[in-house]
Amino acid sequence: MSTQPQNETKVTLPDDRTVVIEREFEAPRELVWECFSDPGLLKEWLGPRYLTMAIEEYDFRPGGKWKYIHSDDSNNYVFFGEFLELNQPEYMKQTFCFVMEPAIPPSIDELELIELKGGRTLLKTTSTFESKDLRDGMIQNGMEIGVREGNERLDELLARRQG
Amino acid sequence: MVQYSTTLDRTFSALSDPTRRTILNRLVTGSATISELAEPTGMSLTGLKKHVAVLEEAHLLKTEKRGRTRHCFLEEKGFDEAEFWLEEFRRSWADRFERLDEVIERKKQEGKR
């Protein structure tokens, strides 16, 4: 196990329809890329900790489709999309959507891996949504799933609101 | 949950306008009257009052009438909520990336063998 402090995850909203996530990794980008391109490795880290993750389809080439399902005892969360551009090991562009009623338009996700000194990598993802409402909704939906991890901070906030 | 979502939508949309962000930035340094806020933006008092009303709705700003002038202050409640959701979103990714670190570390060890 690595003993160094964890690298910081930064989230920014540069405009109304976009979310940018940035994070540095202590590895060359070929290795980080592998963790995205190999579904066996992706499965190990992408799903929320308390959900099981099943990858149904992961055709990692331009025009290839992907689909995975997060499940718990009572619910399935189905995510799907298509790889639009792949430029190993630095750039990937895909559509990202999840199954819900009524159906929503997909976002466009871009992954950039930028080489840093000392064999390190900056990962940057840019998600662009069709509208501001969809962007904000996604931030909250991610949150609603997170709530089930027994989130104490939400309880605190609720208590404060009621108080 | 429904109540929350409405509040968050309002907060995000209030923060999405550059003039309103300028107003809030100005208020970080202390309270100001409507005309003091209008001056640097080159906006009419009526136009500025509309922005102030939107910020007030979103609980990002409070106003108080003192004599004939209305003073504006930052209100922390709105900021707390917008930041709360974003911070939760950030944490969910920080958590995934922590696991990605573990996968990477393992792959590095395997590569050394």
Instruction: Say what the pLDDT of residue A51 is.
Output: 76
- ipTM associated with this complex: 0.84
Residue ranges of domains in chain A: 10-162
pTM: 0.67
CA distance from start to end of chain B: 51
How far is it between the farthest Cα atoms of chain B?
78
Nearest to B54 by CA among B28, B21, B76: B21
Shortest distance between the Cα of A35 and any Cα of chain B, in A, equals 8
Q: Does A41 touch chain B (CB under 8 A)?
A: yes
Q: Measure CA A48 to chain center.
A: 10
Could you state, in order of their start, the residue ranges of all structural domains in chain B? 2-112
- When CB atoms are compared, the residue of B88, B95, B107 closest to A49 is B95
- Residue contact A6–B100, C-beta within 8 A: no
pLDDT value of residue B85: 74
Is the Cβ of A153 closer than 8 Å to some Cβ of chain B? yes
User: What is the reported pLDDT for A151?
Assistant: 41
Q: How many percent of chain B have pLDDT more than 70?
A: 87
With an 8 Å Cβ cutoff, are A26 and B92 in contact? no
CB spacing of B105 vs A2 below 8 angstroms: yes
Q: Is B70 helix (H, G, I), strand (E, B) or coil?
A: strand
**B5 pLDDT above the threshold of 60:** no
More confident residue, A46 or B29: A46
User: pLDDT at residue B71 above 60?
Assistant: yes
What was the pLDDT predicted at A94? 98
What does DSSP assign to residue A154?
H
B83 touches chain A (CB under 8 A): no
Which residues of chain B have a CB within 8 Å of the CB of A146?
Answer: 88, 91-92
Query: Looking at CA atoms only, how far is residue B103 from chain A in angstroms?
Result: 7
Per-residue pLDDT of chain A (163 residues; tens, 9 = 90+): 445 567 999 999 999 899 999 999 999 999 999 999 999 999 888 877 777 889 999 999 999 999 999 887 777 888 999 999 999 999 999 999 988 777 889 999 999 999 999 999 999 999 999 998 888 888 876 544 443 443 444 445 445 544 4
- Please give the class, per CATH, of domain B2-112: mainly alpha
Residue of chain A minimizing CA distance to B8: A136
Give the CA distances from residue A12 to residues A16, A157, B27, B58, in Å, rounded to whole numbers and listed in that order: 11, 22, 22, 20
Give the residue, B11 or B102, on which the prediction is more confident: B102
CB distance A25–B100 less than 8 Å? Answer: yes
Task: Tell me which CATH code domain A10-162 carries.
Answer: 3.30.530.20
For the beta carbon of residue B87, count every other beta carbon within 10 angstroms.
Answer: 14
Q: What distance in Å separates the CA atoms of residue B44 and residue A25, rounded to the nearest whole number?
A: 50
